[in-house]
Amino acid sequence: METNASLQKEISVEREASEIFEEFKELTPSEFFRRNKQMLGFSGKIRSLTIVFHELITNSIDAAEEAGILPEMVIDLKRVDKDHYILRHQDNGPGIPEPFITKVFCTMFAGSKFRNIQSRGQQGLGCSGCVLLSQMTTGQPVKIRSGYKEGNKIKGVEMTVKMDVKTNQGLILDRKEIELDSTGVSMELHFKDVSYSLSEQGAFEYIRRTMIANPHAKIVFKDPTGNRYIFDRATDEIPPMPKEVLPHPKGVTADDLIFMAKHTDKRRFRSMLTSSLSRMSNKRVDELEEITGIDFNKRPKDMKWEEAEKIVELFQSMDFMAPPTAGLIPIGQDQVEKGMKEILEPEYVKTITRNPKTYKGGVSFVIEAGLAYGGKSGRVVGEQKKAEIMRFANRVPLTFDQGSCGITEALKSIDWKRYGIRDLENAPITVFVNIVSTHVPYMSTGKQSVAPEAEIMQEVRQATMKIARSLQKYLNAKRAAKEEAMRAQIFETLVPVVLKEAAILAERDVPEYTDVMAKVTRKPKILGGVTDDE
């Protein structure tokens, strides 16, 4: 009874809808991410700084490559106070023209990468995300210098900007033109609540791994203690730019089809399909038409949702050629090898780039793998060397969520004992795996682990097992050589012992035995007769 009464009471304070909707607001992307910075990967002090390095480095490399320049960066991390750092990041890319500077640094979801193309970054959150973090933790503006070509001259501009979160726009606090003799962007950002670490998840390791997957890049890094590390490039080859490829029928959804139909310039649905999907021939469209009974000659805009659904469903059961792979640019096994050699100085290294395969029937991908043994391979834990797994997606190191990653799972499912590695965990080995795809199936927004798609797991296993066989051969040969040396050593010590004792036993002198010794040390196997050791 009482509950009823209290209910009555509440009803009496009921507000009208109009009253509530007075508070209805639209969030700008900047405001949204200010409230949900973990969605940009900024969670935890170490991780936050690593993500900053990741965003800035990938942007610099992408920009340089697009301009056909060998990427080079100078990064300087200064520690002002506990958890308070100043980061200076400078690259040699093409620079950013002045009108775009505030867009790049202060507007979320502005960028050039919203295409069906293999690229490092993808969402246009990189730079602006870092500026957001800086501003949120320190209130400081960001200082930017950009040098870019205009005609034959290099134009230089220096700006101090802030992000207006409410409007998702940049605010220019200061601006002046400066003289620069080369192109590129440099920036200075303040951060608090971040932490520099040498751990596997830390910023230093991130740079090291980046260098392995990008042997054409050069990074000079000054750490907070003042140490200067020069990661030199291992090759002068700039990787070719990936081409944009049309989506494959098996990879599209009904919503994708409707979206294409809305934005196409084609006048008939038939020609829209053949021009916006790969591997889509007129013959295939005829087949679709016959089975569905849909009129494929109607205007794209007249396509109904139910029809799109029916078509997508049919795609799954039809045979299409595998998607074109021109869009995929792997690092290449030679380049991976160069990268691993440069950074790990291993005793032995073997790499492989596999042929393209597809997962989910229509998304093509390439797996590259490398194994390095000895030297600086593996990571040092206390006094011991442990194996390390380096995962990459489109050359970008995946440093977090290793446990839940399909790549890790695939590697752990390999029976390493078969390849002469008794205990992978405790071997001085670095395993490198890079997945190249226009759509890497990430597990979450953090983009740090790859979903365990059966086809991807299979490829990772195949690739790694293939090079593990080579490593096994090397290890066997090494073992054999060591045994050979030990064998010789054994003969050289024991032959004199046997002869001395035998001479005492026979009460004779030790005979000259140079010939016998020579015969013995050269003999690889048992000397004739049956061996029957218990």
Partner 1 sequence: MMNRRDFTLAKLKGLGNTIIDDVEKNTVPSLKVPSRGTSNIVYDEAKRYYVLGDRYGQRSLGNVKQIKKVAQMVSMANFCKVLVETQKTATMRETYYVSEGWDVDFGSQDESNLVGEDLEVTLGVTREDLGLMPEEDGASVYGNITMKDDDVEINASKTGKSGYSISPTIDDVEFVDHDVQRVIAVETMGMFHRMVQEKAYKKFDTLIVGLKGQAARATRRFLKRVNEELHLPVYICNDGDPWGFHIAMVIISGSAKLAHVNHDLATPDAKFMGVTASDIINYDLPTDPLKDIDVLRLKELAKDPRYRNEFWQNEIKKMLKIGKKAEQQSFSKYGLEYVVDTYFPEKLDSM
Tell me how many residues contact partner 1 (CB under 8 A): 36
Of 382 and 529, nearer to partner 1 (C-beta) is 529
Of 403 and 511, nearer to partner 1 (C-beta) is 511
Helix locations, 413-533, DSSP H: 454-506, 514-522
| Helix, strand, coil distribution of the chain in percent, nearest 5 | 40, 20, 35
Q: How far is the CB of 473 from partner 1 (least distance, A)?
A: 23
Q: How far is the CB of 479 from partner 1 (least distance, A)?
A: 14
Q: How far is the CB of 500 from partner 1 (least distance, A)?
A: 8
- CA distance linking residue 64 with residue 52, whole number of Å: 18
- CA distance linking residue 154 with residue 147, whole number of Å: 6
Q: In the stretch 442-481, what mask flags binding to partner 1 with x, by CB under 8 A? A: ----------------------------------------
**In the window 221-240, what residues touch partner 1 (CB under 8 A)?**
none
Phi/psi at 53 (nearest 5 deg)? -55, -45
Q: How far is the CB of 417 from partner 1 (least distance, A)?
A: 25
Closest CA to 95 of 167, 45, 155: 155
Listed ranges 55-63, 207-215, 283-291, 483-491: which one lies at the site for partner 1 (CB under 8 A): 483-491
Q: How far is the CB of 196 from partner 1 (least distance, A)?
A: 52
Of 172 and 510, nearer to partner 1 (C-beta) is 510
**In the window 315-334, what residues touch partner 1 (CB under 8 A)?**
none
Of 477 and 502, nearer to partner 1 (C-beta) is 502
With 0-12 / 13-18 / 19 or more C-beta atoms within 10 angstroms meaning exposed / middle / buried, residue 319 is: exposed
Q: How far is the CB of 520 from partner 1 (least distance, A)?
A: 5
Of 318 and 494, nearer to partner 1 (C-beta) is 494
Is 269 in contact with 297 (CB distance < 8 Å)?
yes
**In the window 484-523, what residues touch partner 1 (CB under 8 A)?**
487, 490-491, 494-495, 497-508, 510-513, 515-516, 519-520, 523
Of 382 and 528, nearer to partner 1 (C-beta) is 528
- CA distance linking residue 437 with residue 402, whole number of Å: 19
- CA distance linking residue 354 with residue 369, whole number of Å: 8
Q: How far is the CB of 512 from partner 1 (least distance, A)?
A: 8
Is 224 in contact with 295 (CB distance < 8 Å)?
no
Of 81 and 515, nearer to partner 1 (C-beta) is 515
Strand order in the sheet with 142-150: 169-178, 153-164, 142-150, 184-192, 84-91, 72-81, 218-222, 228-231
Q: In the numeric block, which tokens belong to residue 209? A: 């791994």
* Bridge partners of residue 178, in order along the sequence: 156
The whole-angstrom distance between residue 407's C-alpha and the CA centroid of its chain comes to 12
Of 5 and 530, nearer to partner 1 (C-beta) is 530
Q: How far is the CB of 519 from partner 1 (least distance, A)?
A: 5
Give, as one character, the DSSP assignment of residue 442. B
* Bridge partners of residue 91, in order along the sequence: 73
Q: Which distant-in-sequence residues (6+ apart) come within 8 Å of 367 by Cβ?
A: 354, 357, 433, 434, 435, 436, 456, 459, 460, 462, 463
Q: How far is the CB of 481 from partner 1 (least distance, A)?
A: 15
Q: How far is the CB of 422 from partner 1 (least distance, A)?
A: 22
Q: How far is the CB of 489 from partner 1 (least distance, A)?
A: 10
- What are the C-alpha distances in Å from 3 to residues 6, 7, 13, 334, 418? 5, 6, 16, 75, 70
- CA distance linking residue 200 with residue 408, whole number of Å: 15
Of 225 and 514, nearer to partner 1 (C-beta) is 514
- CA distance linking residue 331 with residue 240, whole number of Å: 10
Angle between helices 254-263 and 269-276 (to 10 degrees): 110
Of 99 and 529, nearer to partner 1 (C-beta) is 529
Of 412 and 479, nearer to partner 1 (C-beta) is 479
Listed ranges 18-26, 41-49, 163-171, 526-534: which one lies at the site for partner 1 (CB under 8 A): 526-534
Contact footprint for partner 1 (CB under 8 A): 487, 490-491, 494-495, 497-508, 510-513, 515-516, 519-520, 523, 525-534
